[in-house]
Amino acid sequence: MYLYALLLMAFVGLVNLAIGWLLGRLWPHGGAKTLSQDKLRELTRQLAEQIACVSRDIQHHRGQIDEAHQGLLAVHEDEGASMPLLLASVAEIVRINAGLQSKLGAAEETLKEQGRQIESWSVQALTDPLTSLPNRRAFDDALARRLAEWRRAQTAFSVILIDADHFKSVNDRHGHFMGDFVLRRLAEVLEASTRKMDLIARVGGEEFAVILPSTPGPSALRAAEHCHAAVAAYNFRHEEVELHMTVSVGLASVARGDDDESLLRRADEALYAAKHAGRDCVFYHDGLHIERLGAGGASGDSSCTKDSTESPDVAFGGTGDLDRVCRELSDRAAQLFGA
């Protein structure tokens, strides 16, 4: 009997450890409270009450078993004890055990249901509700695991950052419903354009990220160009609205000494280069240089498509920026001094 009770107490301890681990994984690190966080806190309270109740039942059960055990010893020592008294003691032990088993059965069902809620909410906590892709937190967790694997076994991987070009104009011209439609379809196109082992996440408003496991530079370049071309070829049509969307893409592969900040910074610099070059193109940061990949824009020319809102002589890495700044300063001086 004592062994049975001790095993039950060990079970309760393991449940407590599992709950602690889950809450450690799911608990928010800063930021505003959300509904899911409130649900998790409420579930924590319920679980704590359930564990406390089971613990009390076990303690009570041990006390009752001790009393029944003492009764059996008294019957054994009393040679004149009657059979009805012995049967009554045994029946009491059976009743006590049956009562505890019933309570434990109910507690087990409650814990199973709460476990299902934890699993459901843990998925929600790592999922973008609009696209059903992993969210930024899931991406950060996956990136940390890949970096740990890289440090341990030098398993190469790459990161792609993808930004929908001129997305604000979609919302402004066609409304947020159309914007949401475009984001959902972009998620589908990216999923269809990558491998099942790759992780695609929505990490910002119109920004997506892809982790390419076991993918060094040359293979990652082809994957980035494939994603870029797939979006350009897709027809974003909803009811009477038909859009041609393009994306700017930045790519970086893990290198010696990288952490999550340095790797993402290189990918982000490559993405910025793609935007600065006119969007609708792919740039790669090899750790030393940022280079354009492929044939560039949808027209298939040898340079990225220029953005009509930018000065035509602005090019990444060229002298256009300096010329533009000089012209702006000259114009401003003319306005101030009446030249």
Better-scored residue on pLDDT, 298 or 254: 254
Residues whose CB is less than 8 angstroms from the CB of residue 227 and which lie 6 or more positions away in sequence, other chains included: 160, 162, 190, 193, 194, 210, 247, 249
Residue range 45-77, pLDDT digits in tens: 676 676 667 666 666 666 666 666 666 656 555
Determine the Cα–Cα distance for residues 6 and 58; give it in Å rounded to an integer. 9
Q: Provide DSSP, 129-162.
A: TTT-SB-HHHHHHHHHHHHHHHHHH---EEEEEE
Q: Which two tokens stand for residue 175?
A: 């409304």
Determine the Cα–Cα distance for residues 236 and 255; give it in Å rounded to an integer. 37
Element (H, E) at 192: helix 176-193
With bands split at pLDDT 50, 70 and 90, how would you rate the model's confidence at 34? Answer: very low
Q: What is the pLDDT of residue 240?
A: 86
Fold of 136-308: Alpha-Beta Plaits (3.30.70)
State phi, psi for 138 to the nearest 5 degrees: -65, -40
Q: What is the pLDDT of residue 85?
A: 59
Lowest mean pLDDT among 123-137, 177-191, 249-263: 123-137
What is the pTM (predicted TM-score) of this model? 0.60
Determine the Cα–Cα distance for residues 191 and 188; give it in Å rounded to an integer. 5
Determine the Cα–Cα distance for residues 191 and 200; give it in Å rounded to an integer. 7
Q: What is the pLDDT of residue 9?
A: 56
Q: How many C-beta atoms surround the C-beta of residue 292 within 10 A?
A: 19
Determine the Cα–Cα distance for residues 278 and 207; give it in Å rounded to an integer. 17
Residue range 71-94, pLDDT digits in tens: 665 655 555 555 565 556 666 666
Q: How many C-beta atoms surround the C-beta of residue 254 within 10 A?
A: 27
State phi, psi for 212 to the nearest 5 degrees: -105, 95
pLDDT at 322 over 50: no
Residue 157: closest CA among 87, 219, 228? 219
Q: What is the rounded average pLDDT of the residues 275-292?
A: 94
Determine the Cα–Cα distance for residues 143 and 120; give it in Å rounded to an integer. 23
Better-scored residue on pLDDT, 9 or 216: 216
The number of helix segments (H) and strand segments (E) in the chain equals 9, 8
Give burial (CB, 10 Å; 0-12/13-18/19+) of 86: middle
Relative to beta strand 282-285, strand 247-253 is parallel
Q: Which two tokens stand for residue 57?
A: 């039942």
Establish whether 77 is a catalytic residue.
no
Determine the Cα–Cα distance for residues 332 and 4; give it in Å rounded to an integer. 87
Sign of CA dihedral 217, 135, 179, 168: negative
> How far is C-alpha 58 from the geometric centre of its chain's CA atoms?
39
Q: Which of 49, 108, 206, 310 is catalytic?
A: 206
All structural domains of the chain with their residue ranges: 2-125, 136-308, 315-339
By residue count, the chain amounts to: 339
Determine the Cα–Cα distance for residues 45 and 42; give it in Å rounded to an integer. 5
State phi, psi for 132 to the nearest 5 degrees: 65, 10
Token look-up 């690190």 returns 29
